[in-house]
Amino acid sequence: MADPWQNAYDFAVQVARAAGAVIRNAGEDEIKVQTKSCAVDLVTQTDERVEKIIIGSLKEQFGNGTHCFIGEESVAEGEPCILTDKPTWIIVPVDGTTNFVHGFPFVAVSIAFAVNKELEFGVVYSCLEDKMYKARKGKGAFCNDEPIKVSDVNDINKSIIISEHGTDRSIEKVTKIFSTMQKILRIPVHGLRGSGTAATNMCLVASGASEAFFEIGIHCWDVAAGAVIVKEAGGLVLDVDGVYAFKSDHMNIK
């Protein structure tokens, strides 16, 4: 039987790579000409511009009406975020926007694709590292076309755990996050790390560079592509109830 989604998968890789080039060029232009403080506004425009480029390319290739789109920036502008049985693209144009402003070298384009509420494939392009992570359901996970596998370390004391503190600076959230991180450090673990982008963090777990990643208050679009890559690399993606994520028919906006 013909594989209905191979061309979509291949095209998603091309679109992610092209979007990564736009981000790299924007980074050079905007950081070069602006002080970092006002680059933040320009960067938001980059996020929106890159998402429009990605969705525009996908619509051009796969026709209007048959496919649905859930984009971080579109949802922020009020678009609905409902997962139906229709072929649905789940997009983060710039994961690690804060990193991008500062030239901190972890910025990722994340593109996932779901059909009948099941994730078919995920593509994460870490564009400043030029690392293309990808995975199709049942067909393994890859980084720059080399197979990747999760770590075989099963001793928490010998593990690197990845987490992020997010963007909320309220005393409640900061206290909660750092008390959690303190508990983890005191297990003890070998180390606590964070790249500043959830998609990249998940790919670091998928490639065995870290044993686990968790983040409080993450969005469905941040993890959709990484979920396929982690799962195909032999890992697990769980929600706080210990259930494999992305079974629900409503993408929760946390």
Ligand X SMILES: O=P([O-])([O-])O[C@@H]1[C@@H](O)[C@H](O)[C@@H](O)[C@H](O)[C@@H]1O
Number of residues that bind Mg ion (CB under 5 A): 2
Residue 79 labelled as part of a binding site: no
Q: How far is CA 211 from CA 202, 205, 226, 241, in A?
A: 10, 6, 14, 20
State which of residues 88, 97, 195, 210 lies at the interface with Mg ion (CB under 5 A): 97
Provide the total of helices (H) and of strands (E) in the chain, helices listed first.
Answer: 7, 10
Torsion angle of alpha carbons 34, 37, 41, 44, nearest 10°? 100
Does the annotation place 222 within a ligand binding site?
yes
Per CB under 6 A, the list member of 95, 120, 211, 232 interacting with ligand X is 95
Q: Is 197 in the site for Mg ion (CB under 5 A)?
A: no
Of 48, 120, 215, 232, the one binding ligand X (CB under 6 A) is 215
Quick one: 8 or 205, whose CB is closer to ligand X?
205
How many Å separate Cα 14 from the centre of its chain? Answer: 17
For the CA atoms of 57, 92, 220, 7, the dihedral, rounded to the nearest 10 degrees, stands at: 30
Q: Which of 46, 74, 88, 97 binds ligand X (CB under 6 A)?
A: 97
To ligand X, the closest distance from the beta carbon of 223 in angstroms equals 8
Local structure of residue 25 (DSSP, 8 states): H
Q: How far apart are CA 144 and CA 184, in angstroms?
A: 32
Per CB under 6 A, the list member of 198, 202, 233, 251 interacting with ligand X is 198
Q: Choose, by CB under 6 A, the member of 71, 96, 122, 226 that binds ligand X.
A: 96
Stretch that binds ligand X, among 59-67, 73-81, 142-150, 215-223 (CB under 6 A): 215-223
Pick 8 or 26: Cβ nearer Mg ion: 26
Structure tokens at 120: 């078919």
Q: Which amino acid is at 9?
A: Y
Does residue number 170 form part of the binding site for ligand X (CB under 6 A)? no
Nearest residue to 55 via CA among 25, 82, 6, 93? 93
Does 166 interact with ligand X (rule: CB under 6 A)?
yes
Asked if 9 contacts 113 with a C-beta cutoff of 8 angstroms, the reply is yes
Residues binding ligand X: what is the number (CB under 6 A)?
A: 13
Q: Which residues sit at the interface with Mg ion, rule CB under 5 A?
A: 94, 97
Q: Which residues sit at the interface with ligand X, rule CB under 6 A?
A: 95-98, 164, 166-167, 196-198, 215, 218, 222
Known binding residues are 72, 95, 222
